[in-house]
Structures are given as structure tokens and as C-alpha cells.
Amino acid sequence: MRIFSLFLFGAILACQPAQQESTETASDVDPYSFGSAIVQPDTQRLPRRIAFGSCADQNRPQPILRHVVDRQAELFIYLGDNIYGDTEEMSVLQAKYQMLADKPEFQALRAAMPTVAVWDDHDYGANDAGRHYPKKDSSKAMFMDFWGVPATSLRRQHPGIYGSHMFEENGQRLQLILLDTRTFRDHLLPNDGQGDHKNDYRPNPNPDSTVLGEAQWAWLETQLQEPADLRIIASSIQFGHSYNGWESWTNIPHEQQRFLDLIARTRANGVVFISGDVHWGEISRREPERMYPLYDVTASGINQDWDKIEPNTYRVGDAVAEYNVGMMEVDWEARRLTLLSIDQDNRERNRVEVALDSLRF
Ligand SMILES: [Fe+2]
């Protein structure tokens, strides 16, 4: 019986009547099962090698996942477009998740380490979709089951997929914040062909437009108030780059600034962003006012690339045009962090060394 999901479905409808999905009815089906064993993160240990990636077409092989296993990563963070669902039919979405579950390289990854995930537009359900996508609740239920989010997780108890994990060992703490950049996000402003705008979108100056929505902002503030030595913020879309007209936090600049202001106000140490979506890999480094250097490691994609990489004034190192994943190595004794881009041939394409204590107010 899908008891927990039934309860949740009712709760979501009760508190969000505006988002009611008239075509959906709760049904007596088992939780979605995709047949692969799921390892949960062990929060009593600090991981030393954390890998992450995004943009994985379920129709094609994903051999780069073998390199992640070979490198003995201890955690893999999926950053969205984890499948290309692109449908409002949940049976189609389920079949596409099943294609990922059936891949031997994905099974090897999942057997070797815990996997946690956020979603982006294509696994949420539609290209560049935000809060108007009509199947968000059904898609969330499947996401939660596929990624093995426990029935007791707070992530299942509110609209959207945001949540966090706190790892702690020997008095040091790693916080992993998983953002939902889809469920609450307003329409983006199309490129009007004027000025410096290019590609699909121009920045939206309307102060009412949002990426995260107020409930997630309030939750995020409480998260940033938690003490942590390193704080990985998983955002499906890029945060630290310069405007390029594709989807990212630069589409809604006042929300990007709100994030910086929130980090400064809560004096949250150790923030490093990781992101996906764009089909190339790069590391951005910004120096916002009133805070320490802010890195964004973009890992994209697992088996997706793009023919035109956009300029980025904050990029440090190479833009990686080939399939790639990101990696974070943490020497907790020396309090050193290494940010890496790893390409499809298992070559290190970017390597940035950061003293953990340089990421402090
Ligand atoms: Fe995307």
C-alpha cells in the first residue's frame, strides 16, 4: 500500500489548493520500485571524496560513472536532468527512470556509494519548467522513491524536494543542502533581443519573481544558521557564473543577491556551490562584498555536451567541453579542499585547492 504517499498527497492538496491537479487521483499502488539496492548516506562519517554530476540521457551509456567508482568516491550527488523525462505522463516518466535503473554502470555506482539527488527541469518533467508544471506532486513522489528518500524524511513532508544532510565526525561537520529550483520558480523572462541579452532569457527585474519561494527561503535560513565547517549547496542551475542567457540564478538577479545577503547575514561559513544543467564543466570563483570567496563547481554532463560554451568572467581554469563530473576531495585533518573537474577519459581537467579556513567570515 502506498500509505505514506496517500497521506502526503492529501496533505499537499489541503495546504496548496491552488496547485491541485484535477487529473490526478490517489490510487492504491505500491511505492515505485526500480529494483536497485539503495545505500543511505552514513552521517556519522565525514566523506573525503564527494563526486557529483548532472545531465544523463537514459537512452545512452554513461561510462563516466565507472570512473567515479574507480576513484572511490564515497558519495555521489545528482544535480538534476538525471533523466530526460519531459512528459506529463507518469508511466512514461517511470519507464525512463527504469531505463536508468537498469544500466549496469548506474547499478555499479549505486552499489559502491550512497547517491542523493536534486532535480532539474527534465527530470522534474518539462524543459525549463517552473511552478506551473502541472504534475509536480506526482513527479515528486516518483523522484522520492527512485532516489530512496526514506519515508520519514522531512523532504517528503512539504511541497518540493529540498532538504539537507549533516555529516559529523570528530567535531567537524559537513552540511549538504539540496535545493529545489523548480517547484516554486516563476516564469522566466524571454530574451527580447535588446541590449546585451542573448540566448533564451534576460534578467527579470520584477521583485516579486522567485526561484526558491518563501517557504524554502525560510527553511534555508534555518539551515545556514547551523554550524558547519563545509557547506555544499547543490543547485541544479548555475549560481556563480556571469549572465549568459541560459537558465540560471542570473535570470532572477534579486534572488541571487538575496542568497548572498542571506549567507552574509547568517555568517554561514564554508559555502561551496555545486551545479549542473549547462552541458559543460567549469569552476567559477566570485568575491562578493562582505564575504569570503564563493566557488561554484559546475559538472555537466554525464553524457551530454554543448557546441558553444559561453564566456564566464568568474571562470577559473578550463571550460570542459567533453562529458564530465565534478569531484570534491576533503582532507579533514589538514582542512584542505580540492575542487576537480574529471572528464570522460578520467583526466583531471580542473584542480583548485582551497584552505577550508579561507571560507570563513
Ligand atoms: Fe536543465
- The pLDDT tens digits of the residues spanning 223-258 come to 999 999 999 999 999 999 999 999 999 999 999 999
Check whether 154 has a pLDDT greater than 90: yes
3-state secondary structure string, 218-256? HHHHHHHCCCCCEEEEECCCCCCCCCCCCCCHHHCHHHH
Radius of gyration in angstroms for the set of CA atoms belonging to the chain, rounded to a whole number: 19
Contact between residue 214 and residue 158 where contact means Cβ atoms under 8 Å apart:
no
Contact between residue 147 and residue 210 where contact means Cβ atoms under 8 Å apart:
no
Q: What is the pTM of this model?
A: 0.92
Place 305 in a pLDDT band, splitting at 50, 70 and 90: very high
Q: What residues are neighbours of ligand 1 (ion), with CB under 5 Å? A: 81, 120-121, 277
Extract the C-alpha cell encoding 142.
516518483
Amino acid at 261: D
Rounded mean pLDDT, 203-218: 97
264, containing H or E segment: helix 253-266
User: What pLDDT score was predicted for residue 15?
Assistant: 32
* Range of weakest confidence among 21-35, 74-88, 214-228: 21-35
Extract the C-alpha cell encoding 170.
570528530
Rounded mean pLDDT, 178-196: 95
Check whether 75 has a pLDDT greater than 80: yes
d(CA 234, CA 219): 15
User: What pLDDT score was predicted for residue 30?
Assistant: 56
Q: Which of 147, 119, 111, 131 is nearest to 54 (CA)?
A: 119
CA of 274 to the centre of ligand 1 (A): 14
pLDDT single digits (tens) 18-29: 333 333 333 334
The number of residues making up the chain comes to 361
279: left (phi over 0), alpha (psi -120 to 50) or beta: left
Place 36 in a pLDDT band, splitting at 50, 70 and 90: confident
Which single residue is written with the C-alpha cell 554530476? 53
CA of 88 to the centre of ligand 1 (A): 17
d(CA 257, CA 313): 18
What is the rounded end-to-end Cα distance, in angstroms, of the chain?
49
d(CA 134, CA 20): 8
pLDDT single digits (tens) 270-301: 999 999 999 999 999 999 999 999 999 999 99
CA of 94 to the centre of ligand 1 (A): 19
To the nearest whole number, what is the mean pLDDT of the chain? 92
Judge: domain 45-358, CATH 3.60.21.70: yes
CA angle 127, 133, 136 (to 5 degrees): 110
CA of 265 to the centre of ligand 1 (A): 30
Check whether 55 has a pLDDT greater than 50: yes
User: What pLDDT score was predicted for residue 353?
Assistant: 98
CA of 199 to the centre of ligand 1 (A): 15
CA of 151 to the centre of ligand 1 (A): 27
Which single residue is written with the C-alpha cell 542568497? 259
DSSP conformation class of 184: T
